[in-house]
């Protein structure tokens, strides 16, 4: 029976100085789609003004793009680098206008679209060739949305690949509900700021993992006095610490589940090996009997690979979120000296986590190497072991990167503690 696969369209919106990033996004989607089909029965398709719009006539070129793209996408992915783009009759650039339309789409139907935005930090042109006015407009736009959007920064094109790959995978893994995006009730303050509720969308909802950027309206114009701003700073720091601790705990829980699955698979691995050896040693052993025994082992290995596809992205995403939150807290600490017990508490937590990450890596490498040495007796076994090795390679790389970053943050915390004494 053919597999039913849901198509999720990703509208990539950016000026033409980010064509390299568009190519990266296409490669990432091609890489993710087989895994997404197997794990979640979905796949992505990228839409751009270049591949989804045909020539036409209208009031202006951007209006033609808007009419043809409309709201026919499930994910809006915006990017800005050194250029903001050319103005349109309705916005500062085509990218900004497409972004505003995506926000409008979200307000009308929050469970039908997700909004992601990225800023590239390192221009691909020499400093002397930079358009300073364009760069300034990008910075102004970034500053204007920072209170409403959790955007992502990346330094160079090579950094964009692992970042967007992780985000797109996690988007489906944690927020796709089979036929729509998961959603929760819209906070009252946000509903008021967006002018929905009374006389508008009574059942308005806000997407889980809120990525909405600025929408023109009162939310961008709220005036607060100095005392309120100081309270917000405190809350931001506490939010970061709580998010960091919760995310690290979620990452450790995912690692525990991976370890349990790996131990279970290792036991099955040994058991299947004994059965295969027994069947092969029989004097009247038939090729069909041996193939059945080998394929039974392959099925268990394939199930293990599928479990890893579910857990490894969650592990890396949770730890990445936690360490990002620690970085955010540390940036606050650079501006203002925190209580010494806060620094000590975070450092002690990291010192407990780092040995766990390091000790987990060697057994995974050993198991991966054992899988690699297995003879590929059937095509089923070959496919299953290859899929498992790919997932184990991702886990090994994630463990190394995360543990190195945790060590770096711990060292910075030690320096902060020393400087405070």
Q: How far is CA 138 from CA 119, 144, 170, 297, 360, in A?
A: 9, 10, 27, 55, 43
pLDDT class of 245 with cuts at 50, 70, 90: confident
Are residues 206 and 286 part of one domain?
no
Are residues 157 and 24 part of one domain?
yes
The β-bridge partners of 181 are: 176
Are residues 197 and 87 part of one domain?
yes
- Given a contact cutoff of 8 angstroms between Cβ atoms, the answer to whether 163 and 151 are in contact is no
> How many independent structural domains does the chain possess?
2
Are residues 98 and 22 part of one domain?
yes
Q: Is residue 235 part of a domain?
A: yes
Are residues 178 and 33 part of one domain?
yes
Host domain of residue 135: 6-222
pLDDT in tens, 322-380: 887 777 666 656 555 555 565 667 777 788 888 888 888 888 888 888 877 777 778 88
Q: Is residue 1 part of a domain?
A: no
pLDDT class of 223 with cuts at 50, 70, 90: very low
pLDDT in tens, 304-317: 888 888 888 888 88
Q: What is the reported pLDDT for 256?
A: 87
Q: Is residue 376 part of a domain?
A: yes
Identify the domain boundary among 222, 249, 275: 222
CA distance 201 to 349: 44
Are residues 87 and 178 part of one domain?
yes
Q: Is residue 394 part of a domain?
A: yes
> What's the whole-number average pLDDT of the chain?
78
pLDDT in tens, 130-142: 788 888 899 899 9
- Structure tokens of 147? 């209170």
Domain at 40, CATH number: 3.40.50
What pTM did the predictor assign? 0.50
pLDDT in tens, 273-285: 777 777 667 666 5
pLDDT in tens, 64-107: 999 999 889 999 999 999 899 999 999 999 999 999 999 888 88
CA distance 368 to 24: 28
Identify the domain boundary among 222, 241, 266: 222
Q: What is the reported pLDDT for 193?
A: 42
Query: For the chain, how big is the Rg over CA atoms in Å?
Result: 25
């Amino acid at each position: 029976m053919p597999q039913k696969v849901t198509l999720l369209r990703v509208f990539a919106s950016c000026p033409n100085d980010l064509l390299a990033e568009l190519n990266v996004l296409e490669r990432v989607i091609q890489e993710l789609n087989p895994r997404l089909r197997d794990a979640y029965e979905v796949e992505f398709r990228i839409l751009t003004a270049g591949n989804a719009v045909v020539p036409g006539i209208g009031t202006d070129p951007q209006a033609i793009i808007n009419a043809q793209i409309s709201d026919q996408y499930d994910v809006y992915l915006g990017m800005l680098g050194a250029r903001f783009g050319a103005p349109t009759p309705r916005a500062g650039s085509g990218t900004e206008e497409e972004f505003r339309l995506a926000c409008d789409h979200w307000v009308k139907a929050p469970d039908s679209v997700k909004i992601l935005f990225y800023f590239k930090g390192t221009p691909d042109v020499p400093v002397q060739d930079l358009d300073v006015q364009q760069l300034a407009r990008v910075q102004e736009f970034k500053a204007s949305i920072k209170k409403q959007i959790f955007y992502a920064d990346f330094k160079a094109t090579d950094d964009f690949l692992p970042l967007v790959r992780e985000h797109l995978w996690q988007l489906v893994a944690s927020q796709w509900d089979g036929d729509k995006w998961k959603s929760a009730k819209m906070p009252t303050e946000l509903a008021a700021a967006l002018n929905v509720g009374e006389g508008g969308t009574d059942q308005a909802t806000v997407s889980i993992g809120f990525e909405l950027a600025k929408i023109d309206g009162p939310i961008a114009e709220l005036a607060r006095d100095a005392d309120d701003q100081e309270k917000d700073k405190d809350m931001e720091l506490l939010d970061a610490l709580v998010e960091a601790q919760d995310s690290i705990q979620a990452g450790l829980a995912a690692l525990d589940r991976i370890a349990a699955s790996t131990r279970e698979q290792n036991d099955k691995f040994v058991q299947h090996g004994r059965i295969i050896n027994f069947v092969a040693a029989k004097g009247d052993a038939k090729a069909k009997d041996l193939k059945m025994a080998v394929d039974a082992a392959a099925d268990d290995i394939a199930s293990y690979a599928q479990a890893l596809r579910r857990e490894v992205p969650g592990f890396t995403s949770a730890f990445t979120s936690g360490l990002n939150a620690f970085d955010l807290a540390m940036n606050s600490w650079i501006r203002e000296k925190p209580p010494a017990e806060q620094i000590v508490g975070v450092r002690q937590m990291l010192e407990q986590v780092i040995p766990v990450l390091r000790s987990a890596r060697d057994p995974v490498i050993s198991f991966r190497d054992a899988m690699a040495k297995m003879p590929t007796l059937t095509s089923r076994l070959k496919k299953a072991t290859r899929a498992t090795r790919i997932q184990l390679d991702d886990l090994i790389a994630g463990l190394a990167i995360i543990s190195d970053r945790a060590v770096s943050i711990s060292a910075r915390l030690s320096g902060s503690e020393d400087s405070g004494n």
